[in-house]
Amino acid sequence: VAYPDCCPVLIISEASLEDLNGRLEKKVKIQNFRPNILVTDCSAFEEDAWEDILIGDVELKGTVCCARCILTTVNPDTGVLDRKEPLETLK
pLDDT digits (tens, 9 = 90+) for 7-54: 788 999 999 999 999 999 999 999 999 899 999 999 999 999 999 999
The pairing of beta strand 52-55 with beta strand 37-39? unpaired
Does this model's pTM top 0.75? My answer is yes
Residue ranges of alpha helices (H) inside 1-91 are: 14-21, 87-90
Let me know: does 48 contact 65? Beta carbons within 8 Å: yes
Q: How do strand 58-61 and strand 52-55 relate by DSSP bridges?
A: antiparallel
What are the CA-CA distances from residue 33 to residues 9, 10, 27, 76 (Å)? 12, 8, 13, 10
